[in-house]
Amino acid sequence: PGPVKLAVIPGDGIGPEVVAEAVKVLDAVTAASGTVFEKTWFSLGATRFLETGDVLTAEDLASISAHDAILLGAVGGVPGDPRLKDANIERGLLLGLRFALDHYVNLRPTRVYPGVPSPLADAGDVDFVVVREGTEGPYVGNGGAIRRGTPHEVANEVSVNTAFGVERVVRFAFAQAAQRRNKLTLVHKTNVLTFAGGMWQRIVNDVAAEFPTVTVDYLHVDAATIFLVTDPARFDVIVTDNLFGDILTDLAGAISGGIGLAASGNINPDGAFPSMFEPVHGSAPDIAGQQKADPTAAILSVALLLEHLGLAEESAAVTTAVTADIALRDSRVRSTSEIGDAIARAIGAH
């Protein structure tokens, strides 16, 4: 096979800092294995918008689409920056890519790695994956406002859930569960969101018939936050809608030892479009430019990327090096590049 064509979007804030380390590790693992990656760097995000006024042009999208996979750092300027008021980088760029490239599975694994200082005193053996729907729900932008500037302003934000969209992500989640510990938890709010929740529940019940080994469970999203803190080891695969999945996966990152450890894949399982791998966290303006960000989430996103491309050995090498690095952590604070160097060196040593 020819070289793997990789689009790299460092983005804003800590994005370029953590992507530099992720690419360092990718280079180390591919140098060892001989797989060739051909990288194209894209300057996109708040910084690019402030320079050119563009968020994501048709040419950007066409060019990115011609790659085999995408590695993204984080996008988004400093919240409240008045110059970015009309840009909405998150919607225009991040959601723009997820929607255009039909990333209907947002895969967000959580592990509490041995030796990690989790805020939970005794987390237990935590290893679950959130399958977050990526193209629908309240994220679609089907909203509107009227009577703006009056005390009677009306603002609507419609959650769009299609039977087609829910069924395909639910089927993916069942398939994941069947390859893992055979447990699937639907998280929703069926007691209040009766239309959308009812449809999610019915579709889960229907698809369950195709996966007889998988045990199905249900939690309301509020209760799910309780169990994520009190008993996270109970989860195997969680399937949920776009917004609930967003919130639960920041919580999952926190219990795993920090948001700087949480990786994700925006996946188009059909392979019609390149999938995109990125840390769960954002551009972290509060620590940007200080080499304080933990690049582990970006590095683990490379592991997900390699696995997605069928490079299982390279993926495992990255995960092994990260696991070892986490196990050896002590109270000494390391810089972003020190962490990346240590992980890259561990891979080079094998």
Which C-beta is closer to ligand IPM: that of 134 or that of 314?
134
Strands annotated E in the chain: 4-11, 37-41, 69-74, 105-111, 127-133, 143-146, 154-157, 183-188, 215-220, 237-240, 263-267, 275-279
Query: Does the protein bind ligand NAD through residue 254 (CB under 6 A)?
Result: no
Does residue 100 bind ligand NAD (CB under 6 A)? no
The set of catalytic residues is: 139, 189, 222, 246, 250
Q: How many CA atoms lie within 13 A of 249 on its CB side?
A: 31
Q: Is 102 in the site for ligand IPM (CB under 6 A)?
A: no
* Cα–Cα distance for residue pair 232/249, rounded to 1 Å: 12
84 vs 208, beta carbon nearer ligand IPM: 84
Least separation in angstroms between CB 49 and ligand NAD:
12
Total residues at interface with Mn ion (CB under 5 A): 1
Q: Any contact of residue 294 with ligand NAD (CB under 6 A)?
A: yes
| Residue 284 makes contact with ligand NAD by CB under 6 A | yes
Residue with tokens 């069947």: 178
Nearer Cβ to ligand NAD, position 76 or 137?
Answer: 76
Q: Does the CA dihedral 172-175-181-186 come out positive or negative? A: positive
Given strand 237-240, what is the order of strands in its sheet? Answer: 37-41, 4-11, 69-74, 275-279, 263-267, 105-111, 127-133, 237-240, 183-188, 215-220
Q: Does 9 bind ligand IPM (CB under 6 A)?
A: no
| Site membership for ligand NAD, residue 245 (CB under 6 A) | no
Q: Extract the annotated binding site for Mg(2+).
A: 222, 246, 250
Calculate ∠ Cα 128-336-5, nearest 5°.
Answer: 70
Binding residues: 98, 108, 132, 222, 246, 250, 282-294
Closest distance to ligand IPM from the beta carbon of 29 (Å)? 25
Count of other CB atoms within 10 angstroms of residue 206: 12
Q: Is 297 in the site for ligand NAD (CB under 6 A)?
A: yes
Q: Which chain residues interact with ligand IPM by CB under 6 A?
A: 76, 90, 94-95, 246, 280, 282
